[in-house]
Structure 1
Amino acid sequence: MRRRLLQSLVPMVIVLAIVAAVPLANFIATGASRTLFLSRSNDADWFATMAEGPLQSGDIASLRELAVRYHQLYNTPVFVVDVDSRVIATSRSGVNIAEPDLATALSSTLAGRLPAEPPAMWPWKSGEMVVARPVVNNGRVLGAAVLRVPTERARDQVQNGLLLLLAGLIVAIVAVVIGIVRPVSRWVLRPINDLDNATHQVTRGALDTRVSTDGRAPELRRLGDSFNSMALSLHQARQREREFVADASHQLRTPLTSARIHIEGLSRLSPTARFALSDIDRLGRIVQRLSRLAGSDRPGDAEGNEEPLDLAQAIKERLVGWKAVYAADDLELIIGEMVPGGVASELEVDDILDVLLDNASKYGAPPVEVSVLRDGTEVVLSVRDHGLGLGSRDLKKVGERFWRSAHHREMPGTGLGLAIVRSEAARVGGRVVARPPIGGGLVIEVRVPLIDDYDL
């Protein structure tokens, strides 16, 4: 936004500088023209005085000699005409008094009037300046003395003056932009920048962030008040959420402890009871996480300090209950290679395995094989069934929310299982891969980053 503001202010400064520079440039050109005209007018007056006697006596030799000497000294041609516009003395031959500028100057001078000052001299124009003065005796015009003044040097001076003006203009624009426009733009945008910084703080979880509204424009004051109200509402909502989570986790501890005591006694008699016991333990861990979350001030503070989890060991423990479930349905569950590998402790291994084995039993065909392997920097949980599998087009859609293949749309389900698995894997930097194995069926791989410093 600051760049857009500068893009609108800087052209305005440039336009104002150009508007101010045009009169100055005209003053430079006009001043040089007037200075040259006045200096040569004095010489023309002197020649008019010197030509008064020769024009009356007819002896023009001395007048011609003065004109030649002046021409050689100042490089300025001079000629004298009588009242009938006939050239009687000149410093060079070939004078054409019919030229427009000469004719205009002579007609005015011989009529007893002083010609007007010449226009401003600009570097891109050329030509000589005509300076004429009447030769007068007792109020009667006898003729005129005319100088053809070269203007190259004066135009060079004007050009140098314009270049200096341009340089000063550029320096002035830069100074105004740096000294005025930029500070003004910062001052104008400071409330917006403060609001932007406060918004970023809120997105990072600092819901107690507020912006100052003192001394601001009414519109910005209303915007700041709206932001503060929104941040307060979010803070209160987060506070209520934390209180609810804390209360819920506290209320759940007692019944979970009681249920675990009862189920622990049954686990010695039934594998299914041991499976239920692991679910109770998982609920206990969830309650513990909720309790830590309730005491966290920033998102993400509740996790990240636990020891890495051995994925192979966690899968083997969870498979104890699933073997009993598969056996009850006359399904074969094969436990393949289990290579130890550390993964992030917050990975919900039980949820992921439950979804994969439930899908394999409903949509696939036995035997179902589960394995944990290492592949470079990843630990791979692989679940394979021997059903019909999926086509290449359907393989690309595995993990999309509410998606189900055409072969399984009549079967019960929501189409969210693999989407949950993909979300859980992504939460720890992992991914889900579906591929057709050799021999038919379907393999679902959950690939999560290996924690290198895990102590096997």
Structure 2
Amino acid sequence: MVIVLAIVAAVPLANYIATSASRTLFLSRSNDADWFATMAESPLQTGDIASLRELAVRYHELYNTPVFVVDVDRRVIATSRSGVDVQESDLDAALDSTLAGRLPAEPPALWPWRSGEMVVARPVVNNGRVLGAAVLRVPTEKGRDQVERGLLLLLGGLLISIGAVVIGIVRPVTRWVLRPLNDLDNATHQVTRGALDTRVSTDGRAPELRRLGDSFNSMALSLHQARQREREFVADASHQLRTPLTSARIHIEGLSRLSPTARFALSDIDRLGRIVQRLSRLAGSDRPGDIEGSDDALDLAQAVKERLVGWKAVYAADDLELIIGEMVPGGVAPELEVDDILDVLLDNASKYGAPPVEVSVTRDGTEVVLSVRDHGLGLGSRDLKKVGERFWRSAHHREMPGTGLGLAIVRSEAARVGGRVVARPPVGGGLVIEVRVPLIEDYDI
């Protein structure tokens, strides 16, 4: 019984020693990987990799740690040693996560009986777009030796203290004290790595640990909310401001030959000012309801027809066909940003689709549906499920200009009034993007 209790007490301590050594090594080399990712940003764009290769070789010689850099297609651009095989299981999994912009996987514990190198990978990012990844193959011999010494010390300490420990309190104390502390330690490391949505359980804990857990959860929630507002504001503002500025420039350039565009130049500039004001308010608010709006319902069909006047001229200037389909009146929430939504959908259709592009407004039960259909190559079933995700772009369109934020903003605008965005393949090929928003039943047409 005493031996069993000793093992029960030793297992979480041993796991903590091995896991802590693994995390310490991982975090120490993560800073180096971040530095290489920063240094690789320019070479991946310009193709000048001589200096990057020299840095990798010097680092390898100094720290005995191989380094290599790959592009988004997993081609090795620079390496400190030859023979890198990115198809190895550990490298393949790390590159899958890193090139997708996700957090790196938790490193395995450094048990003495395990061998191999630790993979530390960081994405190379420019303006929200992943260009490649910087990868370190970190030797783990010293870390495993340190864990082995720690385990031997732990074993010796347990053998010495077995006779002095009261059998009735070993198991509950070990489980009650070490497990919540280990949970809190794991959660702290997760937050350090950027996983700000990490939380710890406070059920069944001692009062002091429960207060500590509540304080940690409150801190993590505040950090998560602040980071989310910051990222969304920067991403949305940069994308939202680009569209009206480009539109205004097009209108002004077309004054000499396209008279319908004349009255839209000043309108778009004014709209830019309203966007800046709205984004500024959103940056300081957690709830969409904090944004003030009109009480009068908006006729979606009428708002779309008014915006299409300018877009018909823009499409005509580029020899593209824009078809205005069925326009069924229907009242929607007045705060719906119809101009922003239509600008994104028509801009995407002209860049990624093929003419003719057809716009229509219909009703479907309790929803008013704004549809934009193009006749391009469309998207596969897997890609259709990802439409609207931030920074996501189809593999067919990654070489084209853009940030992958347009449809994410459309989805956010629709959700703000209780709506949704649906992408589907129409009969005859192409792609249909539907913005479905609730119909205001008492709207007077």
- Are the aligned partners of 2:66 and 2:81 in contact in 1 as well (CA < 8 Å)? yes
Distance 1:341 1:166, change over 3 A: same
Instruction: Please state whether the residue corresponding to 1:396 is helix, strand or coil.
Output: helix
Decide which moves more: 280-289 or 128-137.
128-137
Q: Distance in 1 between matches of 2:406 and 2:255?
A: 30
TM-score by length of structure 1 reads 0.42
- Are the aligned partners of 2:176 and 2:205 in contact in 1 as well (CA < 8 Å)? no
- Are the aligned partners of 2:414 and 2:421 in contact in 1 as well (CA < 8 Å)? yes
Distance 1:171 1:315, change over 3 A: farther
- Are the aligned partners of 1:206 and 1:298 in contact in 2 as well (CA < 8 Å)? no
Structure 1 position 317, deviation (Å): 1.5
Instruction: Please state whether the residue corresponding to 1:424 is helix, strand or coil.
Output: helix
Structure 1 position 413, deviation (Å): 2.1
**In the alignment, which residue of structure 1 is the partner of 2:282?**
293
**In the alignment, which residue of structure 1 is the partner of 2:220?**
231
Structure 1 position 309, deviation (Å): 1.6
Q: State the Cα deviation string for residues 64-89 of structure 1 (Å, max 9, x = none).
A: 99999999999999999999999999
Q: Distance in 1 between matches of 2:36 and 2:369?
A: 111
Q: Distance in 2 between matches of 1:76 and 1:302?
A: 52
- Are the aligned partners of 1:205 and 1:299 in contact in 2 as well (CA < 8 Å)? no
- Are the aligned partners of 2:250 and 2:314 in contact in 1 as well (CA < 8 Å)? no
Q: Distance in 2 between matches of 1:211 and 1:352?
A: 39
Instruction: Please state whether the residue corresponding to 1:445 is helix, strand or coil.
Output: strand
Q: Distance in 2 between matches of 1:107 and 1:154?
A: 26
Distance 1:191 1:324, change over 3 A: same
Distance 1:205 1:296, change over 3 A: farther
Structure 1 position 320, deviation (Å): 1.5
Identity %: 92
Structure 1 position 401, deviation (Å): 2.6
Instruction: Please state whether the residue corresponding to 2:81 is helix, strand or coil.
Output: coil
- Are the aligned partners of 1:326 and 1:333 in contact in 2 as well (CA < 8 Å)? yes
- Are the aligned partners of 1:55 and 1:82 in contact in 2 as well (CA < 8 Å)? yes
Q: Distance in 2 between matches of 1:257 and 1:86?
A: 35
Q: Distance in 2 between matches of 1:290 and 1:138?
A: 19
Structure 1 position 128, deviation (Å): 81
Distance 1:428 1:139, change over 3 A: closer
Distance 1:310 1:174, change over 3 A: farther
Decide which moves more: 210-219 or 15-24.
15-24
Q: Distance in 2 between matches of 1:139 and 1:335?
A: 35
Structure 2 residues not aligned, in runs of 5+: none
Decide which moves more: 306-315 or 53-62.
53-62
> What's the Cα RMSD here?
36.5
Distance 1:288 1:209, change over 3 A: farther
TM-score by length of structure 2 reads 0.43
Structure 1 position 324, deviation (Å): 1.3
Distance 1:257 1:444, change over 3 A: closer
Instruction: Please state whether the residue corresponding to 1:337 is helix, strand or coil.
Output: strand
Aligned residues: 445
Distance 1:402 1:71, change over 3 A: closer
Structure 1 position 425, deviation (Å): 1.4
Structure 1 position 379, deviation (Å): 0.5
Distance 1:78 1:369, change over 3 A: closer
Larger radius of gyration: 1
Structure 1 position 18, deviation (Å): 33
1:199 aligns with 2:188: yes
Q: State the Cα deviation string for residues 14-49 of structure 1 (Å, max 9, x = none).
A: 999999999999999999999999999999999999
Decide which moves more: 303-312 or 141-150.
141-150
- Are the aligned partners of 1:52 and 1:142 in contact in 2 as well (CA < 8 Å)? yes
Decide which moves more: 233-242 or 88-97.
88-97
- Are the aligned partners of 1:246 and 1:294 in contact in 2 as well (CA < 8 Å)? no
Structure 1 position 455, deviation (Å): 2.0
Structure 1 position 232, deviation (Å): 15
Structure 1 position 370, deviation (Å): 0.5
Distance 1:357 1:46, change over 3 A: closer
Q: Distance in 2 between matches of 1:202 and 1:212?
A: 15
Decide which moves more: 171-180 or 54-63.
54-63
Q: State the Cα deviation string for residues 254-277 of structure 1 (Å, max 9, x = none).
A: 999999999899799833332323
Q: Distance in 2 between matches of 1:411 and 1:95?
A: 30
Q: State the Cα deviation string for residues 414-439 of structure 1 (Å, max 9, x = none).
A: 22222221222122211111122222
Instruction: Please state whether the residue corresponding to 1:166 is helix, strand or coil.
Output: helix
Structure 1 residues not aligned, in runs of 5+: 1-11
Decide which moves more: 382-391 or 84-93.
84-93
Distance 1:173 1:380, change over 3 A: farther
